[in-house]
Structure 1
Amino acid sequence: MPPMQPRKISPTTVIIAITLFIFVSCSLMNSFYKIITNRLNDNSWDVYIFTQNWPASVCLSWEEKQKGNACFGAANKTSWTVHGIWPTKLGTIGPSFCNMSLPFYPEGIYSIKDELNEVWSPIEKHRKSNVFWKHEWEKHGTCADTMPMYPFEYSYFNQGIKWSRQYNLTTVLSNAGINPGKIYNVSTVWSAVKDAYGKNPHIVCFTDTASKSSYIMEIRICFSKTFELVDCDGIKLQTRWDHRRKQSGGGNFTDCSPNQLVEYPLTSPFPPPGTVQPPEDVFILDVLKAIQLLSWATS
C-alpha cells in the first residue's frame, strides 16, 4: 500500500483560517477589555476635595519643572485661588473623566468668567483659562455631574466661586498670624485651618530639588455629597510621601516633610528655585531659618 501523501491546504483555506483566528482573538480581547474596563472604571466616590493653591508656590513649582517655564500674572495674586473641586473615593485616586459625553462648553460659564479669572485662574503660562477650566470640568466636573447639584458647568464652577469666598484661606491664615514671606512649621498651618473649620484639612508642599527648600503650595478641605464639611482623613494623593503625624485634636495629614520648615513665599516675581543667590542673601536666609527653627523648638 503506497504511503499517504500529506494533504495540501489551499491558500484560500489558510486565509480563511487566519481570518477566523484574528476575528475570534479580537472578540475575546474586546470582551476581556470591557470586563477589565468596567471593573477599573468605578465612578463611585465619597467626598469632594476642594483644593486652593498659593499662586507664588505654584509658579515656583512650574518654573522648577523645566527651564523656560513662565507664569501668568495670576502668580502675583496676594490671595489663595481655586485649583479644583474633585469628587474622590476614599483610599484611592479619582474617579476621573467619568462622562466624556459631557464636553466642556465655554459658553456655559460666560456669565461668571470674570469671577473665575479672579478666583480660579490658571497660573502656568502654557495653559489658557479655557484649557485649564476644560481640564477641570472633563476630569473632575463630569464625575461631580452625577450629583443633581452639578447638572452643568455653570453650577460646578460657580460652587468653586462660592466656596472660595466662604472658606477664604487668605483670611484664615492671616488671622492666625501666618503671613507670606515667613517660614513656619507645617503643624502651625495645619492647626490654623483645623481651628477655623473644625475639620482635618490636607496640606501639600512643593520641595525644590536643587535648594531643598520646601514651600506650602495647596490646602485641601473636604465636603460630603450634601456639601457639609468633613475630615479629609482617608484621601490618597499621588505624592512622594504622606505623613500622618498625630497631635491633640486629631491627625495631621500632609505630604510636607515633618522634619522641615515650610516657606510661605512672597508673591512673584520671586527667584526661581535653584537660582544662585548672593552669598550674603543665603547667609541671611540661613540665619532666619535657624531663628525660626529655634523659636519653634523652644515654644
Structure 2
Amino acid sequence: MPPGRPAHKNISPTTVIIAFTLFIFVSCSLINSFYKIISTRMTDNSWDVYIFTQNWPASVCLAWEEKGKGHMCMSAGNKTSWTIHGIWPTKFGEIGPNYCNTSLPFDPEAIYGLKDELEAAWSPIQKHKQSNAFWKHEWEKHGTCANTIPFYPNEFEYFNQGLKWSRQYNITNVLNSAGITPGRMYNVSAVWAAVKQAYGKNPHIACFTDSITKASFLLEIRICFNKTFEIVDCDGIKYRTRWDHRRKPTVSSGNFTDCVPNQPVEYPITSPYPPPSPEYPKEDIFILDVLKTIQFLGWATS
C-alpha cells in the first residue's frame, strides 16, 4: 500500500441496508408531511368572509400605468361603470388564503357561456400579453380557495356569483343615487356613508395615491359576505397596500379605508387622464384639413 494513503475499509452489507432503510424512512416522512400540508391547504375552510371587490376602471388604469414604464390599459379603462375585481375568501386579520388548490388550473372553456357578461362587468383593465390573464389570476389565486365549500363547486359558479353580486350590489347606482359622480373631489367618509346606507353594513374603501403628484383617487369599494352569502360588516379584514393608511375602527364610525385620512379623493372621469383626443373618420379628417387650409389662406391674404 502506498505510504500516506489511508486504508480502505469495506462497508458491510448490514450497514448499507440500515443506511438505505433510514433514507427510505426519512424520505417517506418528508413526503407524508408535505402531502399533509398540501392536503390541508387544498381543503382549508378556516377563512371567515368573502370580500367582494368592485373597482373604478379609470383609477385602476391610472394605478397600473403609474406602477411601471410600458404599462398600458385596455379600452375598459374608460368604462363609465364600476366593474368587478374579484371575490376573495379572507381570514380576519390576515391576507388570504391564496392559491389553495393547484390541481384546479384556470380553464377558459369553463366560462365560455359567461364571457360576454364578464367582458362587460368583470372586464380586464390592465393590458397583458396573454388573453384571459386577469380571470386566470383571480380564479387560481382566490377562486380555488372559494372552491372549498359547496357554494362554489367549480370555476363557472365562482365567476357567475360575481356577476350576480354585481347586479344586486351595483356601486355605480349607489354612488349616483347619493350624488357622488365622476369628475369631482369627495371626502372618503361621504363615499363610505353612501355604501353603508345602501347596504346596512360596513364596507371598506380603497384609494390609489399617485407617487409624484400625491393626488388620491377613489379606487375600490369592498363589501363582505359570510359563507352562506349573507352581507356582513367588513370589520376585521386586513388589506395591505403601499398606500395603506387605514384607521382603526371606532365605535361611532367603523370607517375602514386605506385612503389618506383628511384628504379629499378624486373620482376621475376617465383614463388616460386627461381624456384622449377624439378619433375622427377619414372623411372627417379630410374636411378638417380643407377647413384649416381655407382658414390659413384667409389669414395670409388679410
TM-score by length of 1: 0.79
Matched, 1:253 2:256: yes
Question: Which structure 2 residues correspond to residues 35-50 of structure 1 after superposition, within 5 A?
Answer: 42-50=44-52
Q: CA deviation at 1:226?
A: 0.7
SS of residue paired to 2:89: strand
Query: Unaligned regions of 5+ residues in structure 1, if any?
Result: 273-299
Q: CA deviation at 1:269?
A: 2.9
SS of residue paired to 2:180: coil
Give the distance between the partners of 1:68 and 1:203, measured in 2 at CA. 28
- In structure 2, do the counterparts of structure 1 residues 112 and 189 end up closer, same or farther at CA, with 3 Å as the change threshold? same
**What amino acid maps onto 1:55 in structure 2?**
P
Q: CA deviation at 1:222?
A: 0.2
Q: CA deviation at 1:103?
A: 2.1
- Any idea what the Cα deviations from partners look like across 1:191-217, whole Å, max 9, x if unmatched? 111111110101111111111111110
The structure 1 residue matched to 2:152, chosen from 135, 139, 150, is 150
The structure 2 residue matched to 1:262, chosen from 246, 262, 265, is 265
Query: Match of 1:68?
Result: 70
**What amino acid maps onto 1:132 in structure 2?**
F
Query: Match of 1:58?
Result: 60
Query: Match of 2:281?
Result: none
Matched, 1:169 2:148: no
Give the distance between the partners of 1:227 and 1:57, measured in 2 at CA. 28
Give the distance between the partners of 1:181 and 1:125, measured in 2 at CA. 24
Give the distance between the partners of 2:148 and 2:33, measured in 1 at CA. 27
- In structure 2, do the counterparts of structure 1 residues 186 and 206 end up closer, same or farther at CA, with 3 Å as the change threshold? same
**What amino acid maps onto 1:258 in structure 2?**
P
Give the distance between the partners of 2:129 and 2:57, measured in 1 at CA. 14
Give the distance between the partners of 1:76 and 1:94, measured in 2 at CA. 30
Give the distance between the partners of 1:101 and 1:129, measured in 2 at CA. 21
SS of residue paired to 2:103: coil
Query: Unaligned regions of 5+ residues in structure 2, if any?
Result: 276-302
Q: CA deviation at 1:9?
A: 3.5
Give the distance between the partners of 1:36 and 1:106, measured in 2 at CA. 29
Q: Say what the alpha-carbon RMSD is for the aligned residues.
A: 3.0
Count the aligned residue pairs: 268
The structure 1 residue matched to 2:211, chosen from 196, 209, 212, is 209
SS of residue paired to 1:165: helix
Contact 1:119 1:164 in 2 (8 A): yes
**What amino acid maps onto 1:173 in structure 2?**
L
Give the distance between the partners of 1:37 and 1:104, measured in 2 at CA. 19
- Any idea what the Cα deviations from partners look like across 1:104-154, whole Å, max 9, x if unmatched? 221111111100000001000116552211111111111111221211221
Give the distance between the partners of 2:221 and 2:137, measured in 1 at CA. 20
**What amino acid maps onto 1:255 in structure 2?**
D
Contact 1:122 1:128 in 2 (8 A): no
Query: Match of 1:9?
Result: 9
SS of residue paired to 2:219: strand
SS of residue paired to 2:239: coil
**What amino acid maps onto 1:139 in structure 2?**
K
Q: CA deviation at 1:259?
A: 2.8
Question: Which structure 2 residues correspond to residues 11-160 of structure 1 after superposition, within 5 A?
Answer: 42-126=44-128, 128-160=130-162
Contact 2:53 2:223 in 1 (8 A): yes
